[in-house]
């Protein structure tokens, strides 16, 4: 009897799953297919083809995919190789508390797959649950003063290291990373800063005092360790995270994922200081062979006069973790990180770590998330970049390093990384 098993059937999205098929004929060719429907009804699919061993078994932990959406030994390949049926669609979890993503796994005879469509019923199937929040994590809607966001607290009495989670140009409130961080033991504040509830849709300036209020709010919570908080930021959020590290003594550990070392778009203001945005060169916008916009060349930070726009990172008292995808087509994040590190070095600072991933794109997300190499954002077809397999490896490695870095610098008296 053919059986398809997966262990565990229900797990957090950053946890691996052990998938096996048994009861096949020796050396039988089969196709594994995965599908997922997001909260908007968009479908995502992946498939990989395998040959059973002499015992009629396929164990994805050891077996090599011979074709499909990836090749080689990749136990979680069916998850990170999921592709949208509708092009330019990004997989984003919105309701993290109440419903998991459900992944349908099906096993077919390879000979019955024609044009990626199954010609008959699957030999076996099952449904997996992929959660963004662990049991016992609580979510508290934040509307304190002008602060808007969601605070996620791990189960237990605490206290816990506190982290502010910042996303980029999408605006609104994205909670999936903060809920996962809380599932891993961090008190995590998913912080909105534009285009959410009564926050301005298109702010004219970035007021850093808003983010200072967020840091103080987190530190006042009885379940949060002091004396400092961490920041995890990506894309447009990086310019805010970096400025927080420079200006706010409360920020002692800052994760910067694919961003700039200067403000862009609009000015930043903080207690009388004004950081003007770096002027961009519109003539350096490029278009890929598929008509996707690439923006990574538009900031020429080596030109004469560019230094006046750069954040004085040497003034930061905390520690930095720079994470860059070398295949980023939106921001030249490696160059910007290396420039910031150069400033730190010239001032005798060694409070930084750089993780640079060849083949990884802009949207480095939690492990096993599908690569989104392009999507429609604000009516623009943006090329985020990245290659499927190296991007997946980068996400898995970076997630562990982010947690290790935050624990090392936020938990009192912690002398070595976990």
Residue 120 confidence class, pLDDT cut points 50, 70, 90: confident
Which structure tokens are listed for 198? 């009564």
Contact assessment for residue 261 and residue 242, using Cβ atoms and an 8 Å cutoff? yes
Task: Give the span between the Cα atoms of 148 and 173, in whole angstroms.
Answer: 9
Superfamily of domain 138-410, CATH level 4: Alpha/Beta hydrolase fold, catalytic domain (3.40.50.1820)
- Whole-number percent of the chain with pLDDT over 70: 97
Is 328 an active-site residue? yes
pLDDT tens-digit readout, 382-405: 999 999 999 999 999 999 999 999
Return the residue matching tokens 């003594």: 249
pLDDT tens-digit readout, 209-243: 999 999 999 999 999 998 999 999 999 999 999 99
Give pLDDT, residue 392: 98
Cis status, amide bond into 345, omega within 30 of 0: no
Across the range 32-61, mean pLDDT stands at 98
Residue 115 confidence class, pLDDT cut points 50, 70, 90: low
pLDDT tens-digit readout, 177-194: 999 999 999 999 999 999
Q: How far is CA 99 from CA 16, 89, 291, in A?
A: 19, 20, 36
Is 235 an active-site residue? yes
Q: Is residue 42's pLDDT more than 50?
A: yes
Give pLDDT, residue 58: 98
Give pLDDT, residue 64: 98
pLDDT tens-digit readout, 62-96: 999 999 999 999 999 999 999 999 999 999 999 99
Q: What is the mean pLDDT of the chain?
A: 95
Give pLDDT, residue 112: 60
Task: Give the span between the Cα atoms of 261 and 242, in whole angstroms.
Answer: 7
Least confident of 18-22, 35-39, 107-111: 107-111
Where along the chain do its domains lie?
Answer: 3-131, 138-410
Choose, from 235, 319, 373, 409, the residue flagged as catalytic.
235
pLDDT tens-digit readout, 143-165: 999 999 999 999 999 899 999 99
Confidence (pTM): 0.96
CATH architecture, domain 3-131:
Sandwich (2.60)
Residue 304 confidence class, pLDDT cut points 50, 70, 90: confident
Choose, from 74, 319, 336, 362, the residue flagged as catalytic.
362
Residue 416 confidence class, pLDDT cut points 50, 70, 90: very low
Residue 116 confidence class, pLDDT cut points 50, 70, 90: low
Give pLDDT, residue 405: 98
Instruction: Enumerate residues 6+ apart whose C-beta is below 8 A from 103.
Output: 34, 35, 36, 79, 127, 128, 129, 130
pLDDT tens-digit readout, 344-369: 999 999 999 999 999 999 999 999 99
Residue 117 confidence class, pLDDT cut points 50, 70, 90: low
Is 207 an active-site residue? no
Give pLDDT, residue 412: 80
415, 254, 227, 228: which is closest to 323 by C-alpha? 254
- Whole-number percent of the chain with pLDDT over 90: 92
Choose, from 14, 69, 165, 328, the residue flagged as catalytic.
328
Give pLDDT, residue 417: 45
- The residue among 201 and 112 whose pLDDT is bigger is 201
Residue 414 confidence class, pLDDT cut points 50, 70, 90: low
- Alpha helices (H) in 67-175, listed in sequence order: 77-80
Helix (H) or strand (E) holding 396: helix 388-410
């Amino acid at each position: 009897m053919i059986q398809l098993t997966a262990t565990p059937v229900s797990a957090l999205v950053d946890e691996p799953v052990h998938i096996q098929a048994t009861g096949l004929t020796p050396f039988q060719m089969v196709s594994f297919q995965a599908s997922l429907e997001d909260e908007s009804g968009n479908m995502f699919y992946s498939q990989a083809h395998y040959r059973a061993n002499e015992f009629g078994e396929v164990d994805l932990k050891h077996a090599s995919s011979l074709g499909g959406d990836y090749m080689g030994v990749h136990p979680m390949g069916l998850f990170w190789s999921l592709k949208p049926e509708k092009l330019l669609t990004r997989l984003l979890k919105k309701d993290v508390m109440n419903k998991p993503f459900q992944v349908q796994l099906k096993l077919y005879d390879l000979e019955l797959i024609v044009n990626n469509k199954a010609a008959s019923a699957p030999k076996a199937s099952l449904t997996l649950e992929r959660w963004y929040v662990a049991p016992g994590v609580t979510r508290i809607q934040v509307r304190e003063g002008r602060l808007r966001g969601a605070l996620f607290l791990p189960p237990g009495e605490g206290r816990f290291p506190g982290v502010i989670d910042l996303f980029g140009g999408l605006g609104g409130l994205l909670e999936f990373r903060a809920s996962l961080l809380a599932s891993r033991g961090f008190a995590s504040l998913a912080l909105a800063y534009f285009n959410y509830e009564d926050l301005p849709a298109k702010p004219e300036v970035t007021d850093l005092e808003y983010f200072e209020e967020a840091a103080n709010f987190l530190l006042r919570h009885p379940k949060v360790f002091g004396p400092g908080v961490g920041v995890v930021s990506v894309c447009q959020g990086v310019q805010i995270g970096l400025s927080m590290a420079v200006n706010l003594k409360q920020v002692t550990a800052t994760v910067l994922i694919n961003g700039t070392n200067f403000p862009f778009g609009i000015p930043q203001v903080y207690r009388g200081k004004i950081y003007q945005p770096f002027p961009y060169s519109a003539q350096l916008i490029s278009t890929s062979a598929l008509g996707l916009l690439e923006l990574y060349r538009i900031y020429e930070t080596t030109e004469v006069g560019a230094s006046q726009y750069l954040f004085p990172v040497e003034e930061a008292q905390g520690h930095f973790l720079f994470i860059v995808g070398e295949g980023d087509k939106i921001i030249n994040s490696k160059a910007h990180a290396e420039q910031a590190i150069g400033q730190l070095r010239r001032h005798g600072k060694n409070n930084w770590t750089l993780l640079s991933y060849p083949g990884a794109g802009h949207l480095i997300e939690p492990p096993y998330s599908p690569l989104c190499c392009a999507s429609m954002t604000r009516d623009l077809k943006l090329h985020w970049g990245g290659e499927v397999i190296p991007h997946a490896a980068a996400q898995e490695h970076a997630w562990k390093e982010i947690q290790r870095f935050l624990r090392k610098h936020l938990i009192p008296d912690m002398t070595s990384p976990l």
